[in-house]
Structure 1
Amino acid sequence: MGASSSKVDSKGEASEERREEESIAASTGVLSMLQSVFSKHSLPETQAIPSSLLADVFSLNPANLESHSFVVSDYFPRLLANIGPTIAELFFKLEDENVSWIDFLKGYNRCAGRMTLSASLTVLYQLYTVASAMADNPTHLAFHPDGKITGYLLLNDVIMFLWMCWVIQRTSRIFKPLEDKSTVVLPEIYPLITSAFIYCSEVLDDLSIENPEIFVLQTKIPAEKLHTWILTTIPGLATCISQYVQFKLQAEIASPSAGNADPSNLSISENPVSDTHNTYLLTCGRAWAISLSLRSSNDDLLESCFSRSSRTLDNLLYRSSVNGKGLNRFWSNVEGYQGELLILVRANSIDSFKDGNGSKDWVFSILTGQGIENQGKFYGNSGYLFAVNPIFRVFPPSGKDKNFVYCHLRPTGSSYDPNPKPVGLAFGGTTGKERVFIDEDFSELTIRHHAVDKTYQRGFLIPNQGFLPTSASILDVEVWGLGGETAKKKQDTHKKREILFSEQRRKVDLKSFGNWEDSPEKMMMDMVSDPNRPHREER
């Protein structure tokens, strides 16, 4: 049939165009999947898929949408409802009632084939532009044959664009039957919007973010600058369209029959998760922003982006509000975990805000490439620093140095050390001039200018950070393990072994106290009391 690569055309010659498209699909390892989907849905008499059915395959029917940050526009649910028809019409070129095998291949390669991040991001813009127009909300973007994008998006469009990407990426990971009165809570993206606004509007002073008047939803965001901001800050956003298309096609293979592709029976519903009212520092919105900034995805982090289940909470290794503050408490919970760690710190300082009307909270985060080790010196091979709230910024490794993590607990012995090492937790910089230093009580931290640090890239972790060191009071600390089940099992084994060793050290050999007359201690005491007393050595 049309899906077989061994077939020849009516002239007895293999289609060169078809072989080329099949080769592109095979390079990404999805050719067999595409063949299965086409075989399942193509009609025997036409050897093609009905165009109406293809639109249903990619359709999305979300549940009720809520947001605790920005108002959800009336057209946004209509935009999501038009995603399926837009993908079918825009990329599969539905010029007639049927989609042939070659058109099916071309459509997939246009929207989900192997391409650069910039090209994938352009596909997302096209999807949003056409779907918005179908929802009676036209945008002001223009696409040129050479791939250049001109025009602008309103700030409100940027919000809807990010939410659209979150919804379709969430669909690729959570797909459950629709429940009555189910609600999907959209993530808190205020820090992302603030970051995009400052970058694209060339705002020089971070203090302006505290003025809500600057966030006029009709503010124009130039397309070129938005494109650059996404590629440099959240490049993972560009891959969500390919993930969505692949998931939808794989779901078609898993479904028992072609008739079960009715989008009215399927949805991205789950128990609602309130983001801004979430008591954890790692909210769904913050987890999503951090995951988008990484070149390679982490399954544990992605799962935290879309749900807060018992499995995701198992990754919470330490929480100062529950386990207690202090480096020793921190160490007892992370010791033995050999995997990626995500550390979030919430603190406040009046110096970060020029108005001086009171301290404002801010959150930054550290992603370590390995577990915490009590070495008393800097170590590590990889890591990231993040400004999480109120502005999202990412600082990947610079490649110039490897002072990623420093951890040193107070020695148990009382010996004098003329050059004591700093007791605490640090990231970047050098000993004594750390970029981030947390004291052993977890009560105060110091953030220095990026000039002292050659490990992480340049930038400000807190709003309006100056050249002088900034001290702040720590309010809360969280540590999430991102090493998967293997790292957690190894840590559990390590803890059990340490508990066993500790119990063995506490045990006392009572037999050694059974005979005082024969004990070496009594002989020494007798010699001290009367050193001239003769002692007969028994032979």
Structure 2
Amino acid sequence: MGASSSSEQNVSREQREVETVAASMGALPMLQKAFSKLADPETSTVPLENLQKCFSVAYKEHSYAGNIPDSLPVLLDHLSSSVVDQFFLPAKGGVSWIEFVKGYNKCCERMSVSMSLTLLVRVFLATERNANMPLDLEIESNDVDCKINGSFLPIHVLLLLLMCWVMSWDCRNLKHSEGKGIPTLPDLNHLVLSAITSCAKLENNLNVWDSNISNLEVQLSTGKFVTWVSSTVPCLPDILRQYFHSRLQTLDELVPPNSFIGDTSSTTECDHNILTHGRAWGISLTQKNAVNEEILRACFPSSGDKMDDNLLYRSSTHGRGLNRFWSCVEGYKGALLILVAANSGDVHEGGSNDRKWVVGALTDQSFENKDMFYGSSGCLYAISPVFHVFPSTGKDKNFVYSHLHPTGRVYEPHPKPVGIAFGGTLGNERIFIDEDFARVTVRHHAVDKTYQNGSLVPAQGFLPIEALISEVEVWGLGGKEAKAVQNSHKKREELFTEQRRKVDLKTFASWEDSPENMMMEMMSNPNAVRREDR
């Protein structure tokens, strides 16, 4: 059989080569097991129908936080056939062992972001054509590093992102063997608007607060789109590889397609969060480290976890102000994501001047009470209405500033700002949150050498923007270990507080020997003779 060991004498050179590549990725045992389950015992080949069932993702019901494109269900119906056509070359009886391993290597071997994106776009293009929705794209050749010519429309970018989100959810669903239905599809307009503002030539200023993605006819060139993916969401092309690998790895745990039914419970849970599923997924696409897994846990919670398990602080729940904030995050030794939802319009007048936006900061270290900047790494985020990421420049290290009111000192000739800040310098912070969590100030990137350039708020300009804060959230991304350390720290602090409240009467002398009793006796009869104890 094709899954036999390559140590046999009759193994061809071609088979040895493809098996060596698969073995270098640690996937050869998994492929042998998957091939034996998919292959027809009589022909020792995998029928195309079996492969298409292996990669199929279907669901009967769905819901969407925005306006779902009508073409998405049709697109998902043709995803499996497009994947099989792109990566497997069937012989007369089906896909042989060599072609089976070749297909895996072609999709899953390590490659650059641009080459991975080419594979993803190739699958998306094939899926669109199979669904009779051709794109204005042309692929020069079948090579992985070939050039793709043409342009996207915003609706195509949205469909591509939604397809990738479903595949990303599918990987998590199979990994944790949940068997749950596809949850409510998230609102990904912030990512689409990011691609539009980065790739398209806009004649007029786009109102990002009130724009219908499906009606926009702007052209996004493929070259600029590749650049946007590489700089903003570099993890997006990896989703195809993860989906491909997960589907073959978990053949025993595949859920029948008719059980993928819309489940709104997980999305309903985060309706009141700043960190929605769509925003969490967007942030996860920017990180290729351990933080990525923790953000995905918040985006796709498993049965034993809830999205709010990672939530350390919410101003509407725990109370506003730096002291309330500090009591919730103190002792957490791990990466933290802080989000600020604000309104830079006139909340009393409302109308067109009402501009709501969300910014965030990701730090790799815990918050410390210092009157100076600290930290070693981090990222700033413009999250809504347009998504952008601003990683470290490496030129400066003013990552985080968090300073409470000093204790033990009455007067300071030069008091330091009290609040939380990211980037810039003291007095000219890139983001500054006041101690009452009432206002946030966002300044132009010219004052900041720590984080990369770019506007955190649409149409920001050079002048500082001062906005009213509607909500602040802090999410812990250090894993269960960091949370356990914080719980231990809180218990220890509670124990010390309780001990300080208790008064041990045994440690005090009796009333007869107390100085107060002696003074009262002397005042009542000062001439009395008293014996001095020696």
Do residues 219 (structure 1) and 212 (structure 2) align? no
Could you tell me which residue of structure 2 aligns to residue 316 of structure 1?
A: 311
- The alpha-carbon deviation at position 470 of structure 1 amounts to 1.9
- Contact 1:66–1:183 under 8 Å retained in 2: no
CA–CA distance in structure 1, aligned partners of residues 203 and 481 of structure 2: 45
Do residues 64 (structure 1) and 61 (structure 2) align? yes
CA–CA distance in structure 2, aligned partners of residues 275 and 69 of structure 1: 14
Could you tell me which residue of structure 2 aligns to residue 286 of structure 1?
A: 279
CA–CA distance in structure 1, aligned partners of residues 356 and 170 of structure 2: 33
* Partner deviation per Cα, 1:9-46 (whole Å, 9 max, x = no partner): xxx66422222211221221111111111123323332
Could you tell me which residue of structure 1 aligns to residue 374 of structure 2?
A: 379
Could you tell me which residue of structure 2 aligns to residue 295 of structure 1?
A: 288
- The alpha-carbon deviation at position 462 of structure 1 amounts to 1.0
Structure 1 residues 444, 465: CA separation in 2 closer, same or farther (over 3 Å shift)? same
Structure 1 residues 17, 360: CA separation in 2 closer, same or farther (over 3 Å shift)? same
TM-score calculated relative to the size of structure 2: 0.90
Could you tell me which residue of structure 2 aligns to residue 129 of structure 1?
A: 125
Could you tell me which residue of structure 2 aligns to residue 409 of structure 1?
A: 404
CA–CA distance in structure 2, aligned partners of residues 108 and 369 of structure 1: 35
SS at match of 1:185: coil
Do residues 369 (structure 1) and 368 (structure 2) align? no
The amino acid across from 2:390 in the alignment is F
- Contact 2:184–2:264 under 8 Å retained in 1: no
% identity of equivalent residues: 48
- The alpha-carbon deviation at position 216 of structure 1 amounts to 2.6
CA–CA distance in structure 2, aligned partners of residues 150 and 402 of structure 1: 41
Could you tell me which residue of structure 2 aligns to residue 47 of structure 1?
A: 44
- Contact 1:25–1:105 under 8 Å retained in 2: yes
TM-score calculated relative to the size of structure 1: 0.89
Do residues 418 (structure 1) and 413 (structure 2) align? yes
The amino acid across from 1:113 in the alignment is E
Aligned partner (choices 491, 495, 503) of residue 508 of structure 1 = 503
The amino acid across from 2:157 in the alignment is V
Could you tell me which residue of structure 1 aligns to residue 466 of structure 2?
A: 471
The structure 1 segments of at least 4 consecutive aligned residues displaced by more than 6 Å after TM superposition are 176-179, 522-529, 533-536
- Contact 2:22–2:105 under 8 Å retained in 1: yes
Could you tell me which residue of structure 1 aligns to residue 148 of structure 2?
A: 149
SS at match of 1:209: coil
The amino acid across from 2:95 in the alignment is V
- Contact 1:51–1:96 under 8 Å retained in 2: no
RMSD: 3.1
SS at match of 1:131: helix
CA–CA distance in structure 1, aligned partners of residues 124 and 377 of structure 2: 35
Could you tell me which residue of structure 1 aligns to residue 298 of structure 2?
A: 304
Which stretch of the first structure deviates more once superposed, 158-167 or 194-203? 194-203
Could you tell me which residue of structure 1 aligns to residue 345 of structure 2?
A: 350
Could you tell me which residue of structure 1 aligns to residue 449 of structure 2?
A: 454
Which stretch of the first structure deviates more once superposed, 383-392 or 409-418? 409-418
* Partner deviation per Cα, 1:151-182 (whole Å, 9 max, x = no partner): 11222111111100000110000146878xx6
- The alpha-carbon deviation at position 129 of structure 1 amounts to 0.8
CA–CA distance in structure 2, aligned partners of residues 140 and 94 of structure 1: 28
CA–CA distance in structure 2, aligned partners of residues 284 and 400 of structure 1: 33
SS at match of 2:26: coil
Structure 1 residues 347, 511: CA separation in 2 closer, same or farther (over 3 Å shift)? same
Could you tell me which residue of structure 2 aligns to residue 431 of structure 1?
A: 426
- Contact 2:382–2:389 under 8 Å retained in 1: yes
Could you tell me which residue of structure 2 aligns to residue 25 of structure 1?
A: 22
Structure 1 residues 411, 3: CA separation in 2 closer, same or farther (over 3 Å shift)? same
- The alpha-carbon deviation at position 272 of structure 1 amounts to 4.2
Structure 1 residues 430, 178: CA separation in 2 closer, same or farther (over 3 Å shift)? closer
- Contact 1:56–1:263 under 8 Å retained in 2: no
CA–CA distance in structure 2, aligned partners of residues 221 and 524 of structure 1: 91
* Partner deviation per Cα, 1:436-465 (whole Å, 9 max, x = no partner): 111111111221211221111111111111
- The alpha-carbon deviation at position 110 of structure 1 amounts to 1.4
Which stretch of the first structure deviates more once superposed, 442-451 or 37-46? 37-46
Could you tell me which residue of structure 2 aligns to residue 258 of structure 1?
A: none
The amino acid across from 2:373 in the alignment is F
Structure 1 residues 23, 528: CA separation in 2 closer, same or farther (over 3 Å shift)? farther
Structure 1 residues 399, 204: CA separation in 2 closer, same or farther (over 3 Å shift)? farther
Do residues 481 (structure 1) and 480 (structure 2) align? no
CA–CA distance in structure 1, aligned partners of residues 120 and 523 of structure 2: 89
- The alpha-carbon deviation at position 535 of structure 1 amounts to 9.6
- Contact 1:59–1:84 under 8 Å retained in 2: yes
SS at match of 1:437: strand
SS at match of 1:505: helix
Do residues 490 (structure 1) and 485 (structure 2) align? yes
CA–CA distance in structure 2, aligned partners of residues 87 and 160 of structure 1: 16
SS at match of 1:373: coil
SS at match of 1:98: coil
CA–CA distance in structure 2, aligned partners of residues 238 and 15 of structure 1: 33
Could you tell me which residue of structure 2 aligns to residue 329 of structure 1?
A: 324
- Contact 1:66–1:72 under 8 Å retained in 2: no
- Contact 1:63–1:178 under 8 Å retained in 2: no
Could you tell me which residue of structure 1 aligns to residue 80 of structure 2?
A: 84
Which stretch of the first structure deviates more once superposed, 87-96 or 164-173? 87-96
- Contact 1:423–1:440 under 8 Å retained in 2: yes
- Contact 1:275–1:283 under 8 Å retained in 2: no
CA–CA distance in structure 2, aligned partners of residues 92 and 407 of structure 1: 55
Which stretch of the first structure deviates more once superposed, 280-289 or 434-443? 434-443
1:161-176 equivalence runs, <5 A:
161-175=160-174
SS at match of 1:61: coil
CA–CA distance in structure 1, aligned partners of residues 285 and 217 of structure 2: 26
Aligned partner (choices 34, 37, 42) of residue 37 of structure 1 = 34
SS at match of 1:237: coil
- Contact 2:62–2:261 under 8 Å retained in 1: no
Could you tell me which residue of structure 2 aligns to residue 242 of structure 1?
A: 241
Do residues 115 (structure 1) and 117 (structure 2) align? no
SS at match of 1:346: strand
* Partner deviation per Cα, 1:83-107 (whole Å, 9 max, x = no partner): 1111112210234331111100111
The amino acid across from 1:421 in the alignment is K
Unaligned runs of 5+ in 2: none
SS at match of 2:410: coil
Unaligned runs of 5+ in 1: 256-260
CA–CA distance in structure 2, aligned partners of residues 511 and 536 of structure 1: 26
CA–CA distance in structure 1, aligned partners of residues 488 and 286 of structure 2: 33
